[in-house]
Amino acid sequence: MLLSGLPDSVGDDEDITRVLRSSSHFTASYVKASAFMPANDEATSVFRHGAEPREDLWRIARELFGPDARIYGAAVCKVRCIREQRLEVVADEPPPRHANIIGWPMNVDPEMQRAQQKELALVIASRSTLMRTNE
């Protein structure tokens, strides 16, 4: 059991949330693949929470990024959706509820690696629900 009270292993049916820190990462209706692309540490940071309760969602995001951080919204999807792309979601606390999407394709050719990762991110984004902070 983790400090947050959540189990160590992340279940397939759990919701995970990717906080949207760029206004370029979503349209009026959809989440873009860029929102899920990994950074240089080859992990995508998420937290283990669903769309509801909404107040808790934004509170956790504020705790993660600080009270003054600009948060545009969140992309919510099931862990199963990530694993179907042969990626993994692993708990990574602290902070509480934090987890990482790992296992992104690696390639000696950086552009090919980016293309492989983008394909997976496109699928994940297409199966995610967009939550806006101003809703």
**For other proteins, which stretch binds (CB under 8 A), given 8-16, 64-72, 75-83, 90-98?**
64-72
Cβ nearer to other proteins, comparing 7 with 22: 22
Return the half-sphere exposure (C-beta side, CA atoms, 13 A cut-off) of residue 51.
Answer: 10
Cβ nearer to other proteins, comparing 7 with 95: 95
Check: CB of residue 126 under 8 Å from CB of residue 120: no
**For other proteins, which stretch binds (CB under 8 A), given 7-15, 75-83, 90-98, 121-129?**
121-129
CA pair distance 67, 89, nearest whole angstrom:
26
What letter represents residue 79's amino acid? V
**For other proteins, which stretch binds (CB under 8 A), given 1-9, 20-28, 47-55, 91-99?**
20-28
Please list every residue from 21 through 60 that binds other proteins, using CB under 8 A.
21-25, 27, 29-30, 32-34, 37-41, 45
CA pair distance 51, 5, nearest whole angstrom:
19
Residues pairing with 18 in the sheet: 75
The H or E element spanning position 78 is strand 73-78
Instruction: Considering only CA atoms, give the Rg of the chain.
Output: 14
**For other proteins, which stretch binds (CB under 8 A), given 2-10, 48-56, 73-81, 104-112?**
104-112
62, two tokens: 């504020």
Using the rule CB under 8 A, is 83 a contact of other proteins?
A: no
User: Where along the sequence are the contacts to other proteins (CB under 8 A)?
Assistant: 21-25, 27, 29-30, 32-34, 37-41, 45, 65-66, 69, 109-112, 114-116, 118-119, 122-123, 125-126
